[in-house]
Each structure stands twice: as structure tokens, then as C-alpha cells.
Amino acid sequence: MYIRDHSLATSERRSSYLAASLQALDESLGGNLHVYEGDPVEILKKLSAQFGEVFATEEFTPRAFLRHEKLAQAKITLHQVGSPYAVSPGRVRKSDGTSYRVYTPFYKAWCAVGWRAPAELPEVQKWIAPPSTARNFPRITCHTPAAGEVAALTRWREFYKNDLARYDEERNRADLNSTSGLARHLRWGEIHPRTILAELNQSNAHEVFRKEIAWREFYADVLFHEPHTNLDYYKPEFAKMRYNEPGAAFKAWCQGKTGYPFVDAGMRQLNEEGWMHNRLRMVVASFLIKDLHLEWQHGARYFMEKLFDGDVASNSHGWQWTAGTGTDASPYYRVFNPIEQGKRFDPEGLYIKKYVPELAHLSAEEVHEPWLYLDGLSHGYPERIVDHATERHEALARLAELKPKS
């Protein structure tokens, strides 16, 4: 059964992906999936009256916490069993009972807590055929990548066979397409992290991959303890910093027309495919915050609109990590250089050329700084909207304003 909260504002991409995912689930259940749409409290009231007890997978978003409160006020009992995490948020604690604020010690404690083996399918499966009123599937209104459990398991097997053994060496290379692409499947519950973790061994590549799975769990844990940080600064002092208002520069960033090839390639990949490589997510986020001096929430909202894997915990905290306003131990003054990042993680410029065809005529050496060459901008690629070196200084000056004067 799936209950769609009618008050939930979601993007066209995520809503269409959900629709495709529910259709796949329905098929695997022989057309027996019940889908309701409306006020979850009202729907659960009726379901409790009809069935006596209702069981659900536990959710950990700020919105889910509000829903729990409303259910409690309405005296409706919802049995929450299992979670979409290997270790449920809130379970990994320090010896004094407090939560972790830094990833590395969290990771060690998370491993020590451990997780169960993946759940077995029940031998006998009994379904109640849904009435016609319980078939409120959302509509697919845009193209989506393959959705559903079969697609997720197929992708996991392919990645395991072809790329996982080199994950530690290649995962940062934007041009190699060597990451798992499992984020949307994990986000929508199409594969459980325990299914993945059960197959990992102690090799370095597998260990690095396990650590990435753990980042997702860490951010869910952080958001569980501080739900307001989906929108607010984790380090509140940064709310006082001087920021620009989003205007033409923000529009250029969204469209992938900043004049910085690596940044623009990332944004165009996001706009076209609804996915972006992790390295690029960091580079474009840093550019928005440190070069354009905009608040991270503007970028995070745009990501949520475009990503198929948009997830409130990983997104808000991925942004805050890059901004230096979140859980990261490394400070605000770390500023990604968009040119050097491109040279390092897309050395031949193949990723750039794929998404920015106006630069396809340039050599590997030229493509990262087209403004230095006579015909660099001759195919319609824009001038840089800001100068990175100047804006880096500006970001540091604004940071200095925050520090108490001695």
C-alpha cells in the first residue's frame, strides 16, 4: 500500500519517477498495490477502522515527524517497522548518548552497531485485491530513467561486475561513468542498503563504497537529530553572513551558462538527465556559494527540482558540507577551483565536450579555459560571468566579517 500526501509539493521529475516505481511494484504484486491520495491522517483513520492495525515502513524526514504528531493527536496507532537504512537514524550514538556530528567517528560506530541480513521474501504471499478507489497512481508526465526493483537489482549486478573493483580509484572521475547510479533506487526504496552491504567484502574498493553508503546514513542521522537543518544552517552563525540575491547570475548557473566549462557541463547534465556526478555536485555547489555568494538553499531547491535521486537529508547536507556550514570539519575557506577541478577530474575534457558542444572543437588543453584561445568562444560559448580569483577573495572577506573583531 502507498499513501500519497496530497499537500506534498514535489517536482515533476520526482513525481513521475514515483509513478514509474509504483507501477513496477504493482506489476510485481500482480496488480494488488493499493494507492491512496489525500490527507494521510484521514486515510489512515479509515484504514485503521477497516483493518484494525496498520504497519508502515518508518520515515525520518521533517515532514514525516509532523505527520507522526498529527497521527498521535488523532489517536491513530501506526506500527512502524523497518526503515530504508541499514541502521535506522537515531540508533548510532556516542557512549554519552548524544549523536555524532562528524562523519568518521560516526562511520566507525555505525559499523560496530552493524545490520541484519537482507529480509527474505515470505514463502506465502497473501494480497487483498484493491478496490477501484485505491488505485490513485500519480501520472508519468516526463521521461524517467528505468525504475523499480528489477531495474535496481540489474544496475547493482552490472556495477558489481564491471566497476566496483575500481571504485576507489575511479569514482571521482567525471568522464568515466564509473559510479553505481544507485542513488535514485536507494532514494525510492527499490533496493535496500542491506542488500548491497551483504555483498561487500574487505577490499579497499568495497570499503570505499561502503563508506559512501554510510554517508547517506550519516546525513539521515544528522537530519533526524536536527530536522530544521533541511532548510536552516547547521552552523547557525552562517545565517548572518552577507549574501547576494539570486538574479541573472543564478539564472546563468541554472542554465549551465556561467562561462566555466566544468560547472556548465555539470549543470547541463543535471538539466538533461536528472542526475549529476558527485564531484560535479560539489564543484557547482561551491561555485554558487563561494563565487556567486548565494545562499546554499537556492541551489539545494534547484537540485530538488531536477534530481531523480533528490533526497532531503543527502541534498541539504551535501550542500551544507560543500558550503562549509554543515557537518564537515573542513572550514568555509575551502573554495573549489572550477578550472583545476576540471583538469584533474576530466583530464581529456571528454565530460565537458559531451555536455557543452560549443567547446567540442577545442583540445584537451584548451577546453578548460576557452577564453585564453582565439577561437575558444567562437561557437557561442559564453564569457565568464565572474572572475574566480576575485570572487574567492570576496568570499574570504565576507567570512572575515563574521569573525569577532579583537
Ligand X SMILES: Cc1cc2nc3c(=O)[nH]c(=O)nc-3n(C[C@H](O)[C@H](O)[C@H](O)COP(=O)(O)OP(=O)(O)OC[C@H]3O[C@@H](n4cnc5c(N)ncnc54)[C@H](O)[C@@H]3O)c2cc1C
Interface pattern 312-331 for ligand X (x via CB under 6 A): --xx--xx--x---------
Residue type, 312: V
- Rounded to whole angstroms, what are the CA distances from 230 to 114, 117, 314, 324, 329? 27, 31, 9, 15, 19
**Nearest residue to ligand X, scored by beta-carbon proximity:** 318
* CB nearer ligand X, residue 215 or residue 371: 215
- Nearest 10 degrees: Cα torsion 246, 297, 38, 46: -160
Residue 248's φ and ψ, nearest 5 degrees, are -60, -35
- Residue-wise DSSP of 305-336: HH-TT--HHHHHHHHHHHHTSSS-SS-TT---
Contacts of 259 (CB under 8 A, 6+ apart): 252, 371, 381, 382, 383, 384, 385
Q: Which of 179, 230, 269, 325 binds ligand X (CB under 6 A)?
A: 179
Q: How far is the CB of 295 from ligand X (least distance, A)?
A: 13
Task: Note whether 295 binds ligand X by CB under 6 A.
Answer: no
Closer of 149 and 309 to ligand X (Cβ) = 309
Pick from 310, 371, 222, 403: which is nearest to 9 by CA? 310
DSSP alpha helices (H): ranges in 324-371? 338-345, 350-355
Which CB atom, from 5 or from 305, has the smaller least distance to ligand X?
305
Question: Which lies closer to ligand X via its Cβ, residue 223 or residue 307?
Answer: 307
If you search the block for the grid coordinates 497473501, which residue do you land on? 126
Using the minimum distance from each CB to ligand X, give the nearer residue, 173 or 257: 173
266: contact with ligand X by CB under 6 A: no
Q: How far is the CB of 106 from ligand X (least distance, A)?
A: 12
Rg (CA), the chain: 23
- CB of residue 299 to ligand X, shortest distance in Å: 7
Nearest distance from residue 379's CB to ligand X, in Å? 30
Chain centroid to CA 37: how far?
25
Site for ligand X in 206-225 (CB under 6 A): 212-213, 215-216, 219
Q: Which of 113, 60, 104 is nearest to 82 (CA)?
A: 60
Q: Which span sits near ligand X by CB under 6 A: 27-35, 38-46, 90-98, 306-314? A: 306-314
Q: Does 187 bind ligand X (CB under 6 A)?
A: yes
Number of residues in contact with ligand X under rule CB under 6 A:
27
Q: Answer yes or no whether residue 285 interacts with ligand X by CB under 6 A.
A: yes
What is the C-alpha separation between 311 and 186, in angstroms, rounded?
Answer: 10
Which one, 153 or 377, has the nearer CB to ligand X? 153
The residue from 180, 229, 258, 269 that contacts ligand X (CB under 6 A) is 180
Cβ nearer to ligand X, comparing 40 with 193: 193
> What is the C-alpha separation between 287 and 304, in angstroms, rounded?
18
CA–CA separation, 160 and 164 (whole Å): 5
The H or E element spanning position 273 is helix 261-273
Closer CB to ligand X, residue 317 or residue 353? 317
**Which is nearer to ligand X, 36 or 355 (by Cβ)?**
355
Instruction: Answer yes or no whether residue 278 interacts with ligand X by CB under 6 A.
Output: yes
Let me know: does 352 contact 359? Beta carbons within 8 Å. Answer: yes
Does residue 282 touch ligand X according to CB under 6 A? yes
Q: Which of 175, 311, 328, 346 binds ligand X (CB under 6 A)?
A: 311
C-alpha cell belonging to residue 154: 540489474
Measuring CA to CA, how many Å separate 104 from each of 26, 111, 238, 312, 362?
A: 40, 11, 24, 21, 41
- Does residue 84 bind ligand X (CB under 6 A)? no
Closer to ligand X by Cβ: residue 211 or 379: 211
| Secondary structure of residue 209 in the 3-state scheme | helix
Closest distance of CB 171 from ligand X, Å: 5
From the list 130-138, 174-182, 266-274, 347-355, the region that binds ligand X by CB under 6 A is 174-182
Q: Which residues of this protein are in contact with ligand X, per CB under 6 A?
A: 171, 179-183, 186-187, 212-213, 215-216, 219, 278, 281-282, 285, 303, 307, 309-311, 314-315, 318-319, 322
